[in-house]
Amino acid sequence: MLRAYTQTVKHVFDYLDYRDLLKDAYEDGRVGDSSLSYRTLAARLGTDGSYLFRVLRKEHHLPARCTPNALEFLGLSGRGAEYFQLLLACGRTRGKRQKQELLLKASALRDVERRRIGERELQFFKDWWVAGVRCSLEVTEGRAQPAELADRFQPPIPAEEIRKALDLLLELGLVKKAPSDRLLLTETHLTSGGDERVKALRAFQTQVLDLAKESLTRFPPGLRDVSTLTLAVDEDAFTDIRALLKECRRQIQKRVEAASRPDRVLELSMAIFPILLPPSEQV
C-alpha cells in the first residue's frame, strides 16, 4: 500500500491550482519511492494512469469521487483539506462568478503572511513597547512623534525610549520611510524560531502577560476584556482546545488586516496552562 506523501502539506496554501499540488507531491514521492508511477498513483486515487497524466498536465480535472483518496495521499485534514476541496471545486466550476466565490472562500482559509525574525533582530523582543511603537504607526498614519506617543502609551514610555524604538525599527527594516517622511510598516505579522529567538520571545511574552495582569486595575471593564476558565479535560480535549486557539489567532489576524482606520493599539494574550497534571506528567 502506498504511503501518504506529506512533504508538500505544509505549503498547501501556497497553491491556487490543486493540480500543481498533486504534481509536486507526485514528484516528491518519486524521490523517496521509485515504485511510484502514474499508474500506481492513479490506482490509489481511483482513476487510471492515462487520465491522471492528463489531469497533471491540466487538460482534465480530478473526478469528485477521487477526492477522499487524494486527501489521504496528500496527508491533508482540517483546514488544509477544506482548502484543497475548494480549489478542486473551483477548477471543475465553469461559471466565472462561482469561481470567484470559491476562491474567496479558499483565500479566507490561508494563513496571513509572516516575516521570520532573524538573529540580529532579537532586539525587537527586548522591550514590549517596541512592537507597540511599530503598531502605533498605523494609528498615527505614519507620523512618528516620540513626545506625543510617549504620553499616549499605557503605562507611559519615556520619549527617548520611543525614539530608540523607532531607530531600531528603521535599522531592522521593519518600517521604512515614505517620500513624505512618514513611516510605513514593511511586514504585518512576525514570527520566530530557533533556541535564542524562542528565549527572546518568551521574555517578551512574560512582559506582555505582566501588562495583562496590570490591565485589571489600570483600565475600566469597557476598555478591556479579561476572562478565565478553569477546565477539567482529557488529552484529546486539550489537543482540540489548542487547535481552536490557533485558529482563533489566525482569524483575528485576518480581521486585523481588514481594519481600514485603526485608532488604538491592543495587546492580546491568550493562555491555557495546567494547574494540576496527571501523575505521569508531573514536572
Render pLDDT for 234-283 as a digit per residue (tens, 0 to 9): 889 998 998 898 889 888 888 888 888 888 998 888 877 775 667 676 55
Render pLDDT for 115-156 as a digit per residue (tens, 0 to 9): 565 656 678 888 999 989 998 998 888 888 899 888 888 888
The pLDDT of residue 94: 85
CA–CA distance from 84 to each of 26, 89, 102, 194, 247 (Å)? 16, 9, 11, 30, 18
* Contact between residue 55 and residue 22 where contact means Cβ atoms under 8 Å apart: yes
The one-character DSSP state at 192 is: -
**What does the mean pLDDT of the chain come to?**
83
Sign of CA dihedral 48, 50, 53, 58: negative
The pLDDT of residue 282: 59
Closest CA to 197 of 136, 90, 264, 120: 120
pLDDT at 163 over 80: yes
SS (H, E, C) 127-167: CHHHHHHHHHHHHCCCCCCHHHHHHHCCCCCCHHHHHHHHH
Greatest mean pLDDT among 16-25, 86-95, 159-168, 242-251? 159-168
Quickly state the pLDDT bin for 3 (edges 50, 70, 90): very low
The pLDDT of residue 25: 87
Question: Which carries the bigger pLDDT value, residue 5 or residue 206?
Answer: 206
Model confidence, pTM: 0.54
Q: Which three cell numbers stand for residue 92?
A: 471543475
